[in-house]
Copies of this chain bind each other. A is one copy, B any other.
Amino acid sequence: MNINEIAKMAGVSRATVSRYLNDGYVSAEKRARIQKVIEETNYQPSFQAQMLRTKRTKQVGIIIPQINLESISRMISGITVVLREAGFQMLLANAEHNESEELKYLKLFAENQVDGIILFATAVTAEHKRALKALQVPVVILGQQMEGYSCVYQDDYNAAREAARMLLAEGADRIGYIGVTQKNQAVGRMRKQGFLDVLRGNGIHWDESLYEECGFSAEEGYLAAEALLARHPEVQAVFGATDTIALGAMSWILESGRRVPEEVAIAGIGDLIIGKLIRPGLSSVHFYYNATGQEAARLLLELMNGNSAGKEVKMGYRVQQRGTTRQAKSPLGTP
């Protein structure tokens, strides 16, 4: 079934059928005839032909570093809602924290294929910037601020400040920090900076021996805590750059026989669902991940319509105290 057959059956030209499909001028009489034929034949215009002709694919490319991470999957969930509403399909590319894969997909999407791109930024290198500059497709950067690009990101710096304050409020002055690679601007640098600034602002001594770096998994957080506390058994608090890391760390801390929060207070960032299920509940800073994804998708839609290039959106946050910094009333926390 193609447009020619429909045209023949309806007794009109192919152009008229096309106009019918695209809301052009078609008389009521022919409109009815075409509609009838299309319904009878269950005709569906070929995406491929439309794409070729119009240069619009109605597809958006999403490049992520990992999929089985709650923060990311919640953002994707938000993206899907908005894109579906707008009739866009989502091409998901999982780069698995592999920089060259990320670049490969960026170029692949750029060359052809998609009307827009949402890039989950992790470690943005000079190579990335070059690839982004060469892009002739609208792109939204998700997860970190980036001059000159439309981006949506969390207030990592201030969130880290809040989390640090929760730990200070416990009276801790030996605080370990378990973070991720400093190549990562948002989770790596901004959060650490916020943490350090609060410590400095409160005149608390801190040096790099209290820092431990690991990946994004709970297992790695667990091992990092082990290493950190072996070096500094005296720490009274541990800051995890993400909830996942903090949860892994907490697992080891409890296992080592320390009481939480009496002996070691813990705070993370992100407010994952797990954090409210465990006991003690994990004190954290809530990020609106789903809304973040929606915002990014909306921004991309605007961009693809030729509006508002370079708009930057910093999302809000909410402090979520739970048992790891004080006795929580309910492990599910406040709603």
What is the interface of chain A, defined by CB distance below 8 A to chain B? 44, 46-49, 51-52, 55, 57, 59, 66-70, 73-74, 76-77, 80-81, 84, 89-94, 96, 111-113, 217-219, 222, 247-248, 250-251, 254-255, 273-274, 276-279, 330-332
Contact = CB atoms under 8 A, between A and B. Distances in A.
Contacts of A47: 112-113
Contacts of A55: 48
Contacts of A46: 52, 112
Contacts of A69: 73
Query: Most chain-B CB neighbours within 10 Å: which of A44, A81, A93, A274?
Result: A274
Nearest to A273: B218
Taken together, the copies of this chain in the complex come to 2
Nearest to A110: B44
B90 A91 contact: yes
A45 to B, nearest CB: 8
B112 A44 contact: yes
A77 B94 contact: yes
Nearest to A89: B91
B332 A222 contact: yes
A158 to B, nearest CB: 25
9 contacts: A46-B112, A69-B73, A73-B73, A80-B96, A250-B277, A251-B331, A254-B279, A255-B331, A279-B279
B67 A57 contact: no
A279 B218 CA distance: 14
A102 to B, nearest CB: 12
A68 B59 contact: no
A131 to B, nearest CB: 13
A255 B90 contact: no
A66 B76 CA distance: 10
A128 to B, nearest CB: 18
Contacts of A279: 251, 254, 278-279
A255 B331 CA distance: 7
A59 B330 contact: no
Nearest to A112: B47
Given A44-B111, A51-B48, A218 B277 contact: yes
Contact of A70 (B68, B254, B331, B332): B68
A331 B74 CA distance: 26
